[in-house]
Amino acid sequence: MNTDVQSLTFTDTIYHVKRGGQGAVLEINNLDLWYEAAQALYNVTMQIEKGMVTAMIGPSGCGKSTLLRCINRMNDLIDGLRIKGEVRLNGEDIYTRGADVIALRKRMGMVFQKPNPFPMSIFENVIYPLRVDGVTDKTVLEETVERALKGSALWNEVKDRLQESALGMSGGQQQRLCIARAIAGDPEVLLMDEPCSALDPIATAKIEDLINELAGQYTIVIVTHNMQQAARVSNNTAFMYLGRLIEYGDTETIFQMPKSLRTQDYVTGRFG
């Protein structure tokens, strides 16, 4: 398989018409990225449509998580990482010199592969983004908790035990709590990095329902290696391979009429 892949030459990204219409929230332009000397992203250019769910698919190691982490600059934590190109949030370049990373992250929410609730009460977990902002008004905090937990379809399950430790919840509940935490700060973009990979099928189904519900309110970027999930939840899909964006367009086109042979092989399950 490896020799097959390498024998193929890379051409420019194939773009299809995307779903959307409210304009792009995020513009990624000619993004290159290196870990030390190894290049992980090659000349990625894509626009993420406002209010849409954008899925990033591709085999393991293709750079989809790396790309997602470029959007809220989580990659800054890694030593020896270098970036060329630009990422614009509503037109502002987030990698410009002196950009306020903390302010940037406050405008985004992120959900990780494994649920990572903090060792605090459910209440404290949800309001964490507000806490670090210095919000102390109790009514504001309580309203936020209710809104965020209702938004993440968790309110009915936990409303009576908000002061209990978040670590006592099931894995699926913990992940929905993390979603609640991510939307508590009312972000412009919600980033999800394989949010269901550590969950059982029932919990996964619940999260997918939740994504569908949240779809109208937030711009969501979701990384997944589950193609059915991408097909089920997303409006637009980007297929990445070996650090390159191969094909990007609305989900139906990508899954049913992909132009690239690699995309076709991947979505039909021939490799990956």
Given the rule CB under 8 A, which residues bind another protein? 72, 74, 77, 79, 102-103, 105-106, 108-110, 112, 114-119, 128-129, 131-133, 165, 167-169, 171, 174, 178, 181-182, 185, 191
Distance CA(189)–CA(58), nearest Å, equals 21
Q: How far is the CB of 254 from another protein (least distance, A)?
A: 28
Residue 78 or 257: the one with the smaller Cβ distance to another protein is 78
Q: How far is the CB of 87 from another protein (least distance, A)?
A: 16
Phi, then psi, of 14 in degrees rounded to 5: -95, 120
- Label residue 39 left, alpha or beta by phi (over 0 means left) and psi (-120 to 50 means alpha): beta
Vertex 141: Cα angle to 139 and 143 (nearest 5) = 65
Q: How far is the CB of 124 from another protein (least distance, A)?
A: 9
Is residue 145 within 8 A of residue 123, CB to CB? The reply is yes
Phi, then psi, of 167 in degrees rounded to 5: -75, -10
Residue 74 or 267: the one with the smaller Cβ distance to another protein is 74
Residue 5 or 101: the one with the smaller Cβ distance to another protein is 101
Residue 18 or 181: the one with the smaller Cβ distance to another protein is 181
Query: Could you tell me which of 53, 40, 49, 46 has the C-alpha nearest to residue 12?
Result: 46
Q: How far is the CB of 146 from another protein (least distance, A)?
A: 18
Residue 23 or 171: the one with the smaller Cβ distance to another protein is 171
Distance CA(25)–CA(157), nearest Å, equals 33
Q: How far is the CB of 37 from another protein (least distance, A)?
A: 18
Distance CA(238)–CA(160), nearest Å, equals 41
Residue 133 or 143: the one with the smaller Cβ distance to another protein is 133
Amino acid identity at 29: N
Q: How far is the CB of 155 from another protein (least distance, A)?
A: 20
